[in-house]
Structure 1
Amino acid sequence: MSRFDPRRKVNRALLAGVSEYDHTAPDDAQGVNGQLPAVRRNRRALEDALRRGGVFGAGEVRTLASPAPDDFTVELRRACRDAEGLLLLYFAGHAVTSTSGSELHLQMRTARVLTGDGLPGSVSFSEVLGELVESRAQQVVVILDCCYAGNAAGIWHRFDDPRRKKDKILLLMSVQPNRCILGGDADAATPFTRELARVLDGGGEVWLSGLYAAVKDRMAAAKYKAEDDDPQRPQALAPPWDPEADVLLAAGPVDPHGGGTEDTTGRFSWLRRPLDRVRKPIGLFGRTVVALVLAFVAIGAAGYGVLTLTGGSGPCEPPLELRVLTDPDLEPAIRAAADGYLASDANTTEDGCPRSGVTVYSAGAAHVVTALGEHSDPWQQPREDVNPQRDIGPQPDVWIPATRADVDRAGDAQVERVFARLEPDHGPFAYSPVVLAVPEGLDAGLPPTGQSLPKLVGALKDADGRAQVRRPDPEFSDAALLATVGLYGDGADVRRAEELISRAGRPEPSAVRLLCTLPADDAADDRSAVLVPEFLLRSGVGCHSVTRAGRTAVYPDDVPGLEPTFVRVRWEGGDRDVQARDDRVDRFRDWLTGEGGREVLGRQGFRAATGERGLLAGKAADHGLTSVVPPADPADAARLDRTLERYGNAHGPGRVLFLLDSSGSMAGLWDGPSGGPGILKQTLTGLGRGDEYGVWAVHGVGGPTHSGLLDFGTHPRAEAEKALRAGEEGARVRDAEADPRAALLDALAFMRERGAGDERPQLIVYLTDGEDDNRLAGDHLREVENRARESGVPVAMVTLKSGGCDRDRPGTRVAEASQGRCLDAGDDLVPALRDEVARIGTGEE
């Protein structure tokens, strides 16, 4: 790319800002996360700045206010067709990534979020790139102000472009990869666009490289925050640009009141530090000289070659960049440490230049272990099916897992040809126990230490029936996996253990996200104890505009703690700059594990890695913590792998057996959506293609007590619905009574046999009118209760009349014995039963 001045060419700017959405949560369960009134101001501010900028002529700036996907695509194609010089595309609005993070979806006005990866109303960024590379424009600049904007750079890199046409596309992004930004309010534009417009409107020539530098500096000075209290750092595709490879974006008249010498674009920000050094000693006359020098540099095209005034040889060379991969829950703390290191003397040369930069990023712990253990080859040479560069990020120089056991897991999984060599430190550099953080509003009276996690959870629920326990995703977060080790215990029934955890849709990927999303529902926040790393109770409270329920930490004695460990990663063929890289890694390690790192980690809430594991800083009581905590046994690699396998089994395809009372008394409760078959039909949405299920018709006494309506196995939805359709060939009422005792005993034996070899979730649903409950009483009832208690299979007892779930009713007693649920006509039957089935099924269809 050469330095590109688009004036006097045919240019186009397309500004798409989605401020209003048709579907928003919580009113619509499939909606996006609210309206974005600030985006209205974004559109106006950027449009005004570009119109005054002198690059885009009359009619060359087009604004789209909350377009639908088709409207956006039509206008994008038109801009691609019409632009011959510069094409600028701007998007502000909601955006989400795919589950793997490999795609960015720009959410237009009609956007919805469905179960799985269904995202109607969105436009993928890959699709946008496909249009832009085929445009007639000589240069394309894409500006994104949305959540996950930084992910666009990885998509650009992965974009299949054999003719190298994508090189004309440059990206400016509002935030780092895998970060959400705040939506703002109606009073002002969002921070990134606000600063963008101010710099563009500052007068004079504004080139893309200078625009990026200035916006980055201004946002850092203002300390704008993204979600999870992270600094919001704008990104560009490949900064810094060569001065001779740039794009002019504005060339408006200089503001006569602007001071003249102010570096509004930030192109000469490298001069500030040396100039600041000499400003004080040389006095007033010297300050005048400095101002004249800066003005001269700003005017002259050769300004990049001016020497610093300290006698050095010129501006700082770009520092070597270290890539640090860590656990999702550790990322904010490690980033804070990296920021402290970057500003420290340990990372500064005698000339005042940085020795290295540090890029901190995270990915799911289990995925990282697999990638470093089994996929180090495709990490260097990505394949279509396995691509850690896409799914995790660049090859790390340093890996900081949450537990040393992860290093052993990766090492055990390494194949014969290994392209990544792991060199862990001998011990961790910090410690944080995993705690059960109990809301202060739950009067549980739990002992702070000395109890196992299952006992603590059981005591909590016994003390307060409102209590719920939530945990992040063990397949993503090591803290959640460590908590699951304690939850399962030695030889525990995994299905029963998982029933202790409250489920409301897909679990949050990390404890950071869990703690910051719970306050959106005050009632849920007030009754939810959470399994999280202790340090987050101190440092993880900056969820912006939300107020989190106060919590007190309880310390299970059977849950291993977080022990972040510094691991040097060496890559085959990565020896070109090995000496310099080793030096930078060693300096970062020494600082992180020394006094500087301990000070930052102390503020983040960590404890000492050895000894009594005391807090590195702060008073424990101020944050609901305990001063001295006996550390649990360290995590074991084999046990972590086994726990993860058992968790996957417990949340894999489920098994559900439906028992439909088909006795004669059901005749008046049979037809329509509120009849027995209709209710069961509506629960099928919770089941997917991998789930096994069947339907028994319950009728008859003294002989066979049930007959098959739908064989047990996997089924297309239509096949199951046909079996439940009323009629001679489907579900029908029989001229007989029913024996619920015999049917339930048969069902419990049937399901126990099928679940003997694995830990897949199971459920029995018995739907009845309760007319034959006289056969489920006395010894017969106790027999069913005992069998249900032993089986480990929860039973949902559903009675179509009121009072079926009153105290001591058969339905109530069987449900409680099996740790299932009792529902009757006093409940909202269909959604409640659908939820029970969805807890077991995968709902993939």
Structure 2
Amino acid sequence: MLRDPDVLTAGRQIKEFFSSSAPDDILLLYVAGHGVRNDEGNLYFAVTDTDPGLLFVTALAAKDLSHEIEMSPARRVVVLLDCCYAGAFADRRNLDHAAPRPAPRTSPASSAGDAAAQAFTLPPADDAHVRGQVIIAAATSIQQAVEGRTGGLFTRCVVHGLRTGEADLNHDGEVDAHELHLYVDARMRRLGAGVEQHPSYSVHQLEGMLRIAHRATATAPPRTLLPPRATPPPPPAEDRTAEDLPPPARGDPGRRPLSRALLLAAALLLPGCGIQSDSPLADGGCPAPAHLRVAAAPAGLGAYRQLATAFEDWVAAQRHGCRSADLYVYPVGAQEMADGLRRGWGQEADGRAYLRDVGPHPDVWLPGAATDLPALSGPAARLVASAEEVARTPIVLGVPVRAGLPEDRRPATRTWTELFAETAGRGGVVRGDPRVSPIARMATAKLYNDGAIDPAAARTRYEQHLEQALDAGGYPVGDEAGLLCRQGLLRGRTAVVVTEQELVRFNRGDALGDSCPEAVTPRGGDRLAAYYPSDTPAVRQLVVTLTWERDVQAGTTAAYARWFARWLHTDPGRAALVAIGLRPWAYDPVTPISGEYGALPGWPFSRVVQPEPDAFVRRDVDAVYARARRPAHFLVALDASGSMNTVTADPTRTRWEVAVAAVEQAVTHLGGRDRFGLLTFAGAGGSTRELLRPGPPGRDPVGAVRRATAGIRPGGGTPLHEAVRHGAAALRAGPGAGDPRRTLVVLTDGKNTGAQPRPAAAETAGVRVVVIAVGDVTCADGSLRRLTADTGGSCFDAGLGSLEPVLTRVFRAIWG
């Protein structure tokens, strides 16, 4: 363990480390520091005496470290690099372009290297035939490594995966290098949403699967690098004071963490890019935080993350400034959560680990509404430890001030039906999709008279007006976050069905969720005023705590989950709920629930609050909506260019194979009245090929996709513009009975290489264009954004990593 060494000390120790090894040793080199590249693009590791102008004599050259690894007698070497430009280590050639040369920082490194080294283990003896070198780098050769409040993102994910065992993706008790990379890549994408940093994975002369960690067993206690620490039990009673918060997790006796057997390891803790996240003791002697996994409704993700931060800050205040709780908040839809509880989160089903692509086992669930809580029985029911109501928020009609709707209509003087009729004639009304949004489903229940309306009347009175407003404003079809994101870009009179919470957060300019990365603060006439129908229901906000097996959820983690739920009933917790726009019980509404942000604090105006619709009403409303809504016509255009032959993070599958598998999964979500088609685009000259003519999905849509794509061999260029033009024309030419919603889904991994220009607005009129960017192209590309912006479509990044989970999730959202 070298902490802040100078260049001579570091070089001497590394050479001795690699040269003195034996053939059967497994060597680990872990660099936590700052990477610097010279004008030729060569990578160096900065140390305490590094001079940016004299890198070749004052810094450690990556090529010299590579040389020592090559000359080492050890047949197995693992290199983990948490530094800027780390991906350049695996590139044995000089790069063509130069990177900036930031000066080395001199902040003291912390003890995360200790934690990372401890987490590794000697693999079983039968791995002696395995040999080769594995390099997992925190970033590509042109990316900087993220360092946040709790340290380096890469090391935080590595340590978490090994300490909790979550990196054991196939649950065989072992973690191999490939599994570790897949886990770290997925976790970094979740924790670092919006950050351009992707870990890279490289192997050199690798034979076999290099296993680097395994679980401890009851009969063979692990040999630890550090003496074991006793874990005080969590508080026995539920009504402890704040000072009795459960201690941070340091290894639960019943949890079977990854063992920490002794391993020959060199950890280099260099200045800058300092890491502390999961270390046993962070700066100032603070213990490592307990990690709490919080699944949240996607539409309210921004608010729930704000709530999690408030809890972390409160716990830190009770712990003398030590951040003892770390909440990871990630999106999970209501149907996904229900399936995960019923079928077993992460369990094997149909040859694949079910819901592992969604996220880890949640300790806490924050659903969008109480109606999202599924009816469970048997073992699934025992997973729900508690479900408590903590707040509520009414569903309102958010009307732009410029629409000029009289103010006296706001305090519950009109029913939903009356208010809708008056507003639809002024500027239109948009509503989310009732199939994916509980808010839209509740408002629709009131418009449909709790399901008693005739489907034909529902179509003419409501659905046609809603669809016309969606199309006129280019609104996406989905949840309220997407509607408000589009609303922030318009200067119109269209009203939006939302909750009071979403309305005040929109007016305040708060983050709306992952689907809207750039929130816009409306001004003047663009601000929304809340109109409260007299029969509006209140959305009940629940906090659900979940319990799992001891090898998945530590006792201290479960204790913190209970404390989080109880904290929401205390004054600090209720204040945090108000701060995100909710109305907790026994707490007077204050800012932002005020006139300043478009709300009326006096709700419910001495009226009885309507309940959420029960299961019978929801069933009746769903049946009416299914017959009243317009059908959807989908056409998927798959990029079949040569680059789609690129191997993915799963070395057995190409981008093309993963894309086809995702389409096969997606078509299972089609409705009986929907239509589906499939085409490919590729070729040196640019051409499209129609595989499936748009039509009803039939009894076996998966088989139809499989048969249509069986003979495709990717090759040639990427005629993207021709594909969009061809697909939009095919959709418009289809039958228009019921005024179908036409959506063109384009999956591509490259920019347009064809000769045709970008389609004009008239050529895509009436068609929503959705682009899924995979591989080396991203939605940051201006040409992709322009293809979707003017059509009410969206652009999704599937990235460079494991594509199938991302593609399946995106298709599920598009299909509704």
TM bucket, shorter chain: 0.3 to 0.5
TM-score, length of structure 1 as denominator length: 0.46
TM-score, length of structure 2 as denominator length: 0.47
